[in-house]
Chains A and B, each alone.
Chain A
């Protein structure tokens, strides 16, 4: 179980982005964090991965305070993280990244299995460099595969996994998230605006203006997003991003 207690974080220039977040991500469930752009979702994901550190508040994973752990230590402790903007490397291959993530050599079959989950043919991609020769969508899918390759994650965080991915691959991805949750009981935290991802969530947390706007079971929260909340005066009530 991941617990964020009174998390605050400000930009170096002083602007407060997260204004006291209190949330709990339960074990074995899929929790989606959604909300308008600029509301602090990606900052929250980076805080969980240890890429940035909170100015106030504590982060607990399975009861252990991980607030002061660095990125490497958190990874080893069980935090997986897929970047919103995948990082490119000249010369490092898809196989290299998957093996680093898995912590061991992986067979061609295993590599194909992992890449197949994100809609990529392993044989075609396994020895390719993770560089600018890959499209944005290809890079994104490989980024997600590196998190799927980890065998020791207590929680896996995906920051907008749908961005840049074609419809067919996105369908694969949805199935993969469902399988991770239902068959393997993994705890998943996904930052997303995508309705189809929200539809498979167990829990939905809405972050707006650096605060938790609302949270609860999918059945409870999703209708308010699809039809616009009572407090929303925006005319684009049915648009997920505009509906907050």
Chain B
């Protein structure tokens, strides 16, 4: 691992400088920089494309598998396909952070296409943190695609966050849910400068009593632009909730287009959306506690993105 990879891992992968415990695969500039399987989680290279096949046994409970990807210089367009096969009964955390760095004037891009196949009753917490670092004219791009199939009673929790520095991102998430399966997505996104971010969610609930809870919190600062489009389809008795909140700072712009489709009389779908600048009264309240304007804005945004 080079030093830049180590810096990125500290930010996106909960890495503290020691060895990863359990199963992991570190991707550095399109190459494998380290891999380890565990007793219950087997990681293999894909045979037909760049990427991994990750087999998670039903005996895996409370384990974490790390699959960070780092791009450490320009002129790299990294494309990777990772498939997760999760056996019934497994309960694991997947940490899939990604950092893209360039300061040599060339563009740097990582495009991770992840497919999840969750067996009956399995539970996966998927944590994904993205960041771009480095200066210069080279653009930093991250374009993740996540396709998920949840068998009956499976639960997938996705906690995704893009901190800063990514010039453009297009994030696509598609999911199909079986009976009583639950998909919980919590997306947090902050853009600044001339950055652009596009988010697309497409969730189909095909099994009785399945449910999705989709929460997106974003902050658009500077001249940045965000585009949000979610589609929740309820094809049976099911519940769907999506919440899209955005704060505008400076000349930031946000387009939010939520879409709900109810294909069954017992599909119960809700969408909530709010876009606006920070309320003046929030700033005033924090000022009465001794914060100045800048500190108050920072605190409000921190809380908003954390919550």
- What distance in Å separates the Cβ of A94 from its nearest Cβ neighbour in chain B? 12
Could you tell me if A100 and B290 are in contact, using CB atoms closer than 8 angstroms?
Answer: yes
Which residues in B have their C-beta under 8 angstroms from that of A101?
A: 289-290
Q: Number of B interface residues at 8 Å Cβ cutoff, please give it.
A: 23
Given the known inter-chain contacts A83-B285, A87-B281, A87-B282, please indicate yes or no for A92 contacting B307, CB distance below 8 A. Answer: yes
**A207 interface hit (Cβ, 8 Å):** no
**B184 interface hit (Cβ, 8 Å):** no
A160 to B54, CA, bound (A): 60
Could you tell me if A92 and B303 are in contact, using CB atoms closer than 8 angstroms?
Answer: yes
Given the known inter-chain contacts A87-B281, A89-B282, please indicate yes or no for A72 contacting B303, CB distance below 8 A. Answer: no
Which residues in B have their C-beta under 8 angstroms from that of A72?
A: 287, 290-293
- Interface on chain A toward B: helix, strand, loop, or mixed SS? mixed
Given the known inter-chain contacts A72-B292, A100-B299, please indicate yes or no for A91 contacting B287, CB distance below 8 A. Answer: no
Query: Contact partner of B290 among A76, A129, A131, CB < 8 A?
Result: A76
Which residues in B have their C-beta under 8 angstroms from that of A179?
A: none
**A146 interface hit (Cβ, 8 Å):** yes
Could you tell me if A96 and B285 are in contact, using CB atoms closer than 8 angstroms?
Answer: no
**A49 interface hit (Cβ, 8 Å):** yes
Which residues in B have their C-beta under 8 angstroms from that of A70?
A: 287
* 26 pairs, A vs B, C-beta closer than 8 Å: A51-B284, A51-B288, A70-B287, A71-B284, A75-B288, A75-B289, A76-B290, A79-B288, A83-B281, A83-B288, A87-B279, A87-B282, A87-B285, A90-B303, A91-B217, A91-B303, A91-B304, A91-B305, A91-B306, A91-B307, A92-B299, A92-B303, A96-B303, A100-B299, A129-B303, A150-B289
**A103 interface hit (Cβ, 8 Å):** yes
Mark contacts of A199-215 with chain B using CB atoms, 8 A cut-off: 1 yes-contact digit, 0 otherwise: 00000000000000000
A49 to B290, CA, bound (A): 11
- Closest residue of chain A to B296 (Cβ to Cβ) is A72
